[in-house]
């Protein structure tokens, strides 16, 4: 047997966009669980990239997909308000975001999904309300199970010096662990002038960005670290993996 006729070593990818049709068919048959990671472009202080919510969610979702043997979908960048008036932020209307999620669910059910894990790295009550409503409305007319939540929901943070936040210890540490080259701590200052570059856009809640200066936690510099980020990552992935197993146990 010549080298060229040998089969290449088994390539195992959990990313849908990298799969051949045969790999996709086998992955769905093996475990019909899909992960959809969502975030938006949004101002995240001077030391973090605009894509922090989506990148953070993508990084966590990659670890989760591997740990839970789930199929990871390409990143979704559509979410609702949002610090719309701040530099670099792009948001979409509640109706549109719900419609997009509903059409994802329709497509995934068509593909044989038994469980969709829809995780948002962009927070706030409006985003959470929007993804919950879309999931609840879809579930009311389908047997497909959906977990729709921010990545942190249900995770025990009592042993951590932080809670989920915006650009503070939690997000900065996760970004340090996942994308160290995208965190520019030399640009970090304990207090910032928020860059209100834009006129507000209308949204379903009449929400407007907070005004004034941005203050970080007093102990930011003491705790923000890649080590904290790795601990957070492990706690989040472990919890979500358990949630997936719980949901799958309910699948008939």
Shortest Å distance, C-beta 156 to Zn ion: 21
Q: How far is the CB of 168 from Zn ion (least distance, A)?
A: 9
- Binding part of the chain for Zn ion, among 50-58, 134-142, 209-217, 231-239 by CB under 5 A, reads 50-58
Helices (runs of H) and strands (runs of E) counted in the chain = 7, 6
Give the integer Cα–Cα distance in Å for 12 and 116: 21
- Residue closer to Zn ion by CB (options 33, 61) is 61
Q: Which two tokens stand for residue 10?
A: 């088994």
Closest CA to 135 of 152, 151, 118: 118
| CA 231 remoteness from chain centre | 17
Shortest gap between Cβ of 51 and Zn ion (angstroms)? 10
Say which residues have a Cβ less than 8 Å from residue 147's Cβ, sequence separation at least 6: 115, 116, 117, 118, 119, 240, 243, 244, 247
Which range touches Zn ion (CB under 5 A), out of 53-61, 133-141, 185-193, 237-245? 53-61
Nearer of residues 32 and 121 to Zn ion, judged by Cβ = 121
Q: How, if at all, do strands 33-38 and 71-72 pair?
A: parallel
What are the angstrom distances between the C-alpha of 188 and each of 45, 53, 95, 168, 215?
A: 8, 18, 36, 10, 11
The yes or no reply on residue 168 touching Zn ion (CB under 5 A) is no
Q: How far is the CB of 78 from Zn ion (least distance, A)?
A: 15
| Binding-site string for Zn ion from residue 178 to residue 217, where x marks contact by CB under 5 A and - marks none | ----------------------------------------
* Interface with Zn ion, residue 84, by CB under 5 A: no
The reply to whether omega before 59 is within 30° of 0 (cis) is no
Q: Please count the residues of this chain forming the interface with Zn ion, following the rule CB under 5 A.
A: 1
- The distance of closest approach from Cβ of residue 30 to Zn ion in the complex, given in angstroms and rounded to an integer, is 33
Distance CA 89, CA 195 (A): 11
Nearer to Zn ion among residue 53 and residue 85 (C-beta): 53
**Is 53 among the residues that bind Zn ion (CB under 5 A)?**
yes
- Give the separation between CA 57 and CA 39, rounded to whole angstroms: 7
Of 13, 115, 23, 31, the residue nearest 74 (C-alpha): 13
Q: Give the whole-angstrom CA distance, residue 106 versus residue 81.
A: 25
Q: Determine the interface stretch with Zn ion among 11-19, 46-54, 155-163, 210-218 (rule: CB under 5 A).
A: 46-54
**Nearest distance from residue 38's CB to Zn ion, in Å?**
12
Of all residues in the shown chain, the one whose CB is closest to Zn ion is: 53
Pick 53 or 109: Cβ nearer Zn ion: 53
Q: Which stretch binds Zn ion (CB under 5 A): 47-55, 76-84, 211-219, 225-233?
A: 47-55
Residues of the shown chain interacting with Zn ion in the complex, contacts defined by CB under 5 A? 53
């Amino acid at each position: 047997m010549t080298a060229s006729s040998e089969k290449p070593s088994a390539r195992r990818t959990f990313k849908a966009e990298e799969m051949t049709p045969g790999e996709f068919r086998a992955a769905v048959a093996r475990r019909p669980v899909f992960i959809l990671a969502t975030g938006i472009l949004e101002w995240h202080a001077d030391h973090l990239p605009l894509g922090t919510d989506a990148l953070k969610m993508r990084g966590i979702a990659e670890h989760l997909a591997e740990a839970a043997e789930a199929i990871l979908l390409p990143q979704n960048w559509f979410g609702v308000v949002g610090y719309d008036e701040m530099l670099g932020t792009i948001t979409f209307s509640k109706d549109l975001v719900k419609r997009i999620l509903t059409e994802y669910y329709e497509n995934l059910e068509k593909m044989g999904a038994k469980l969709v894990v829809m995780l948002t790295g962009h927070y706030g009550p409006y985003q959470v309300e929007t993804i919950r409503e879309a999931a609840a409305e879809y579930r009311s007319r389908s047997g497909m199970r959906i977990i729709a939540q921010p990545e942190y929901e249900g995770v025990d943070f009592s042993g951590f010096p932080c809670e989920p936040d915006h650009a503070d210890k939690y997000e900065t540490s996760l970004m340090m662990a996942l994308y160290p080259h995208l965190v520019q701590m030399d640009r970090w200052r304990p207090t910032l002038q928020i860059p209100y570059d834009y006129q507000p856009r209308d949204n379903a809640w009449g929400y407007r960005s907070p005004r004034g200066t941005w203050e970080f936690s007093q102990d930011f510099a003491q705790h923000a670290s890649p080590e904290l980020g790795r601990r957070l990552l492990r706690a989040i992935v472990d919890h979500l993996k358990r949630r997936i197993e719980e949901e799958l146990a309910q699948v008939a």
